[in-house]
Amino acid sequence: MTPSSEITAAGPALSLENKTLPEAEKDMVLRALQKSNGNRSAAARALGVPRHVLLYRLKKYGIA
């Protein structure tokens, strides 16, 4: 692994925009739902997770 491709919490290779992991995850879920016009199956595909995992995250973060 070259130094420029190394992933570090403080380095530019990994930026969560000063968000915690749960905040970043919730944001990703919301963006996927927005891009899929609320279609949960399409949002799950875009995120690369099974639909039931997306449904779990929706419940976890109180997203209707």
Domains of the chain: 21-64 (1.10.10.60)
**pLDDT tens digit sequence for 12-51:** 455 667 889 999 999 999 999 999 999 999 999 999 999 9
* Stronger pLDDT, 58 or 10, i.e. the higher one: 58
Judge residue 17's burial from the number of C-beta atoms within 10 Å of its C-beta, 0-12 exposed, 13-18 middle, 19 or more buried. Answer: exposed
Single-letter residue type at 2: T
| Residues 17, 22, 24, 27, CA torsion sign | negative
Tell me what pLDDT residue 14 has: 58
Report pTM: 0.72
Q: Specify the pLDDT at position 10.
A: 52
* pLDDT interval class at 4 (50, 70, 90): very low
